[in-house]
Amino acid sequence: MNLKELYQEIILEHGKNPKNLGKTENFNKDAKGNNPLCGDNVHVYLKLNDKKIIEDISFEGSGCAISMASASIMTDLVKGKNLTIAKEIIEDFLGMIKEKEELNTKNLNDDEKTKLMCLSGVKQYPMRVKCATLSWHTLVSAFENKKTEVNTEN
Amino acid sequence: MNISQIKKEFPIFDEKIHNNDLVYLDSANSSQKPIAVIDRINDFYSKQFSNVGRSVHYLSVAATNLYENTRISVQKYINAKDKNEIVFTKGATEALNLVANTLGQKYLQEGDEILITELEHHSNYVPWHFLRKSKNIKINFAEINEDGDVPLENIEKALTPRTKVIAITHLSNVTGAILPIKEITDLAHSKGIIVVIDGCQSAPHLKLDMQDLDCDFYAISCHKMYGPTGLGILYGKKKWLDELPPYQGGGGMIKEVKKDRISYGDLPNKYEAGTMATAQVIAFDQSIKFLENIGIDKIMLHEKELIEYGQELLRKNNSVKLIGNPKNKGGVLSFIVEGIHPHDIATILDEDGIAIRAGHHCCQILHDKLGIAASARASVGIYNTKDDFDKLNNSINNCKKIFNLK
Ligand SMILES: Cc1ncc(COP(=O)(O)O)c(C=O)c1O
């Protein structure tokens, strides 16, 4: 186990000053997520335009450094991307956080990959994986405009 | 009292956690188990096992006697008038569900009101909520004051002419507040109100005297009392347990079963349907012996000293904010650290072998009231020492370092 790997500077920075925090104006899709064991919660808002591009995205919520940083990095990375690519990134991330060593996606530049990879430290902390994945599952749910809350326990 | 000697009775402390000695500060969640309790379970299964109350063979009779012995030990330990006032359940949660359910079946009417407090654990709220749904019963909340305490006045203020039940915690599992149960019971009884106590946090740490407290029901969680999991106790005044209907139906709780009618058994069988947690009940006798051997007065003194020490230490730590400052406080220290989420604290502390709890501790109403989503909680047991709090404090400082806080 390695706390330094879990709490890297990038995570702490994103955790403290999350990007895209708030409520997107004129959002047309949103969803809520909740981690009942921890009490973490997140609400993802996005504006998907006619060309299926995520024009804007934001989130509201509260939680630990890992969940806040994860939501911040996620919104940062998918903003401006088209839906198909965003879904690919999500799948890649969720795979990486569970088992894979590396990211496969060709849709992120090295800088973006580094940002995402710094969340991989959470792999060694099974109880904390949910903190990292909550916002991502919620984003998937927002694409579908699901009204039921994402619940990490189900 | 020699704590290091007592600690040796708990084999868990021989284990290393991430290569560190275990600092267990999560006893409010569940206590560790002394060797006598662990051995008793093993012995019972190895040498004495049989189901209780069903057969006439040697082992069954012996097991039944052992099982009933624990009932008598519990009766004495909590000074109940009658051994039949002790009902074994699967936990305090089931005990509270039993009370809410059976009062709902027979005693409560639509429009009646239940008074609970903002301190309650979900186990002492959700069962009443079921009645809110099924019987249109109203739930009122006695408010906490700024110390995280519920003084008698706040209970009095929240009573209405329709209040039929007061269901409250004896000792808050978040703020540590010890409520004035005796005074609350006096007040309630003068108005014909039933008193149900969630005694989960008090039972391992305070002197229990049911006849003195005079409450109508008292729920206990054995796994927090140096006992096995899967076991709780409901104390109920005999007049209530006689009068109320059974909770679960099945074997063991009946007198006579015919195609057209069923009559129910007498106490205590009436509330103990099915095969019970036999080994746990029998082993729990050892937990009571363990507590009695040390003596509750000494336990209370030791834990009071500890919590005062811990409180002082954390108070001096400038980023730590303690939650609640009740006049009468039990062995629970909840806190937040400015700029670090409780889950991050718990993960970092764990690396040092320190076990605390982070979250809302099944008290969402209270955390909402306090305006926080979660808190960190250090809680003590008989095996803790001041050194454990020193380690806690150092580890909190390490959290601050990792998070680049002053
Ligand atoms: C105050 C309080 N009430 C009720 C419970 C539930 O007890 P049990 O685990 O025995 O069902 C707990 C323990 O989590 C508690 O702390």
User: At B262, which CATH number?
Assistant: 3.40.640.10
Task: Say what the pLDDT of residue B264 is.
Answer: 95
Band of pLDDT at residue A108, cut at 50, 70 and 90: confident
Evaluate whether residue A150 is within a structural domain: no
**Low-confidence residues of chain B: pLDDT under 50:** none
Give yes or no for a contact between A6 and A131, defined as CB atoms under 8 angstroms apart.
no
Pairwise CA distance, residues B186 & B195, whole Å: 10
Q: Of B292, B318, B338, at which residue does a domain stop?
A: B292
CATH number of the domain enclosing A55: 3.90.1010.10
What pLDDT is recorded for position A40? 84
Check residue B38 and give its pLDDT: 98
Q: Nearest-CA neighbor of B282 among B55, B72, B10, B58?
A: B72
Q: Is B32 among the domain residues? A: no
Give domain status of residue B376, yes or no. Answer: yes
Cβ–Cβ < 8 Å for B352, B391:
yes
| Cβ–Cβ gap A127/B347 under 8 Å | yes
B341 close to A (CB below 8 A): yes
* Single-letter amino acid code for the residue at B271: Y
Provide the pairing of β-strand B16-17 with B20-21. antiparallel
Q: State whether A125 and B351 contact (CB < 8 Å).
A: no
Kindly give the distance from the C-alpha atom of residue B105 to the centroid of ligand 1, in angstroms, as a whole number.
24
Return the pLDDT at A107.
Answer: 85
Give distance in angstroms: CA of B93 to centre of ligand 1. Answer: 6
Q: Is the peptide bond before B268 cis (omega within 30 degrees of 0)?
A: yes
Q: Is there a contact between B402 and A3 if contact means CB atoms under 8 Å apart? A: yes
Identify whether A11 is part of a domain. yes
- Collect all residues with Cβ–Cβ distance below 8 Å to B347 and sequence separation of at least 6: A3, A6, A125, A127, A128
Q: B330 with B202: CB under 8 angstroms? A: yes
B110, B130: one domain: yes
Residue of A nearest to B342 (CA): A64
The predicted structure's pLDDT at residue B295: 97
Q: Give the angle B75-B86-B257 at the CA atoms, nearest 5°.
A: 145
Residue A137 placed within a domain: yes
The residue among A2, A7, A10, A122 with the most chain B CBs within 10 A of its CB, best to mutate, is A7
What is residue B237's three-state secondary structure?
Answer: coil
pTM of full prediction above 0.90: yes
Clarify whether residues B13 and B52 are in a common domain: no
Residue matched to tokens 């002419």: B161
Q: Which domain-ending residue is among B292, B325, B353?
A: B292
Both B336 and B248 in one domain: the answer is no
Instruction: List Cα–Cα distances, A4 to A12, B256, B360, B402, in angstroms.
Output: 11, 67, 27, 8
Cross-chain Cβ contact A7/B402 below 8 Å: yes
**Chain B residues close to A66, C-beta within 8 Å:** 343-344
- Which of the residues B200, B215, B222, B362 is marked catalytic? B362
Give the range of the structural domain holding residue B184, as residue numbers without chain letter.
Answer: 38-292
Identify the pLDDT of residue A153.
65
CA B315: distance to chain centroid?
27
Last residue of a domain, one of B271, B292, B313: B292
Minimum distance, in Å, between the CA of residue B53 and any CA atom of chain A: 40
Looking at residue B329, the DSSP 8-state letter turns out to be B
Q: What is the pLDDT of residue A127?
A: 85
Are B189 and B64 in a shared domain? yes
Question: Do B352 and B280 lie in a common domain?
Answer: no
> Considering only alpha carbons, which residue of chain B is nearest residue A10?
B403
Give a yes or no: residue B33 inside a domain: no
Q: What confidence tier does A105 reach under pLDDT thresholds 50, 70, 90?
A: confident
pLDDT of residue A1: 55
In a domain, B31, yes or no: no
Q: So what's the pLDDT on residue A39? A: 74
Q: Are residues B173 and B278 in the same domain?
A: yes
- Angle at which helices B386-402 and B342-351 cross, to 10°: 110
| Statement to judge: residues B352 and B317 lie in one domain | yes
Cα separation, B45 vs B47, in Å, equals 6
Select from B348, B359, B404 the Cβ nearest to the Cβ of A39. Answer: B359
Does A91 fall in a domain? yes
> Same domain for B262 and B163?
yes
pLDDT digits (tens, 9 = 90+) for A113-138: 988 988 988 988 888 899 999 999 99
Q: Which two tokens stand for residue B91?
A: 């936990």
**Cβ-based contacts under 8 A for chains A and B:** 49
The pLDDT of residue B373: 86
Do B8 and B89 lie in a common domain? Answer: no
Distance CA B336, CA B358 (A): 10
Q: Has the ipTM of the complex gone over 0.85?
A: yes
Say whether B363 is catalytic.
no
The count of structural domains within chain B is 2
Query: Do B287 and B310 share a domain, yes or no?
Result: no
Over residues A44-51, the mean pLDDT reads 95
Nearest to B36 by CA among B226, B279, B300: B226
Instruction: Please tell me the total number of residues recorded for chain A in this structure.
Output: 154
CB contact, 8 Å: B401 with chain A?
Answer: no
User: Which residues contact ligand 1 via a Cβ below 6 A?
Assistant: B 91-93, 121, 123-124, 169, 173, 198, 200-201, 221, 232, 362
**Under an 8 A CB cutoff, do B351 and A1 touch?**
yes
Kindly determine whether residue B373 and residue A40, on different chains, have CB atoms separated by under 8 Å.
Answer: yes
**Domain containing residue A74:** 3-142
B360 — contact with chain A (CB < 8 Å)? yes
Total structural domains within chain A: 1
